[in-house]
Amino acid sequence: MSAPPSPPAPAQTALTQTGPAQTGPAQTGPAQTAPAQTAPQSPRPAPAPTAAPGDGPTITSLSFLTPGNYPDADPLTGLEDTLRLFELGERLGFDGAWIRQRHLEHGVSSAAVFLAAAGQRTRRIQLGTAVIPIGYESPFRLAEDLSVADVLSGGRLQVGLSAGTPPHAELLGDLVFDGDWRSFDLSYGRIARLRDNLLGDYLGDADTVIHSPGNTQRPRLQPHSAGLADRLWYGGGSLRSVRWTGENGLNLLTGNIVSGEGIAAGEGIAAGEGIAAGEGIADFVTAQRALIREYRRLIGPDRPARVALGRVIVPFDSADRATRERYRVYAASRHERTLRPHGERRTLFAPDLVGDAQQILDGLRADAAVGEVSELRVELPYEFDRRDYEQILRDVAHTIAPALGWRPAPTQPTQPTQPAPPA
């Protein structure tokens, strides 16, 4: 998308399609990745602006989501940079670090494998994926992989999922499946099967056992990681998806893309609020707030109604002049999509928050959907490199999140990386 002739104001200027829903655009080329050597650190940003009591949303949990970019010819450097970003997030006190799972692109194609590695490089921070398209996965084999990674991390995985026909299905379907994959059930039922497998129920009746060398045992998925089934999230951006999520007791991920289709007065909103007659919601924030409230209406009383909301946040307080201008151009190139609903499903896009700390705080405080949640996820753009990501995380942790009530988690020494054996 070409940028407008003159960039808009730096705060809330544009949208990037980076929410947890599976409808985000594919990358069009290799992402830039910084060299592996340590980059010079930017000056520490100014202290966070002071927040008056009750001034806007209160954030108690802060995470970030990164695409795990790498150049086609050097995936190792990019993946290593992403692992180092997880380590930095832990040192800065972030509560969670999340990775995208993307097939056929310059990103992480197996979140479970990557998070198993991240679990060995960190000790405290929660490790998430947003999202795994369940359509390509065996609900049993994926449950095994996630369970291994969760046990290795000490029970820190947060697993985001999506259902429906997965991205690039026309290219990948025949490579993944035997038979006509178009006739397979790729819907929510596969997520329900994954959760059932994670519960660790025994297979067969009470007399069913399996024999292995030196052992006889009742069969179930191994290793069983208690509690992982309660740490499943669904990337819900439509009325149908958030209703299924609430009715089935999963946690809710919501980001920068939602559908206004079918949302009407009475579903968490007042009559006439943001509604174009006969067409559903036309305003992003109004639609997202309605979806969050509908989810909470349906979640069972025995389940915490956890909602993690994502926004692309790009502060430039400690960035140099050239980087600030690059951030502005990035935001301006995404502004057009935020101006109207798109397609039959009335897809709506949130603007990015790009600017200094005060501009970003003003945008967050004016966002009624942010006011509905206490868990905020900083979504890092695809096109940036490691040094950009590090600067963004530092600025958020030092100048933005504290003004919203967030306090960094206590830091712990990160486990040292084991040196490679001699050749």
Amino acid at 41: Q
Indicate the angle between helix axes 139-153 and 188-198, nearest 10 degrees: 50
Both tokens of 277, joined, read 């007659």
Q: Which residues of 218-246 are buried (b: 16+ CB within 10 A; e: fewer)?
A: eeebeeebeebbebbbbbbbbbebbbbbb
Q: Which domains does the chain have, with CATH numbers?
A: 61-202+219-404 (3.20.20.30)
Q: What is the pLDDT of residues 123-181, one digit of tens each?
A: 999 999 999 999 999 999 999 999 999 999 999 999 999 999 888 988 998 998 888 88
The residues pairing with 280 across neighbouring beta strands, listed in sequence order, are 276
Closest CA to 134 of 98, 187, 177: 187
375 membership: H or E segment, kind and range: strand 375-379
Classify strands 210-212 and 215-217 as parallel, antiparallel or unpaired.
antiparallel
Instruction: Tell me whether residue 100 is exposed, middle or buried, using C-beta atoms within 10 angstroms of its C-beta: 0 to 12, 13 to 18, 19 or more.
Output: buried
Query: What gap in Å lies between CA 405 and CA 400, rounded to an integer?
Result: 9
CB 339 within 8 A of CB 14: no
Torsion of CA 71, 73, 78, 80, to 10 degrees: 180
Torsion of CA 290, 167, 131, 74, to 10 degrees: -140
Could you count the other beta carbons within 10 Å of the beta carbon of residue 330? Answer: 22
Query: What gap in Å lies between CA 175 and CA 116, rounded to an integer?
Result: 25
CB 59 within 8 A of CB 376: yes
Query: What gap in Å lies between CA 200 and CA 221, rounded to an integer?
Result: 6
Q: Tens-digit pLDDT profile for the chain (423 aa)?
A: 434 344 344 444 443 333 333 333 334 344 444 434 444 444 455 555 544 444 679 999 999 999 999 999 999 999 999 999 999 999 999 999 999 999 999 999 999 999 999 999 999 999 999 999 999 999 999 999 999 999 999 999 999 999 998 889 889 989 988 888 887 888 999 999 999 999 999 999 999 989 989 899 898 999 999 999 999 999 999 999 999 999 999 999 999 999 999 887 555 555 445 444 445 788 999 999 999 999 999 998 888 889 999 999 999 999 999 999 999 999 999 999 999 999 989 999 999 999 999 999 999 999 999 999 999 999 999 989 999 999 999 999 999 999 999 999 987 655 544 445 554
Q: What is the pLDDT of residues 5-48, one digit of tens each?
A: 443 444 444 433 333 333 333 343 444 444 344 444 444 555 55
Read off the pTM: 0.83
Amino acid at 71: P
Distances (CA, A) of 414 to 91, 189, 303, 386, 417: 8, 39, 32, 19, 9
CB 331 within 8 A of CB 13: yes
Instruction: Tell me whether residue 282 is exposed, middle or buried, using C-beta atoms within 10 angstroms of its C-beta: 0 to 12, 13 to 18, 19 or more.
Output: middle
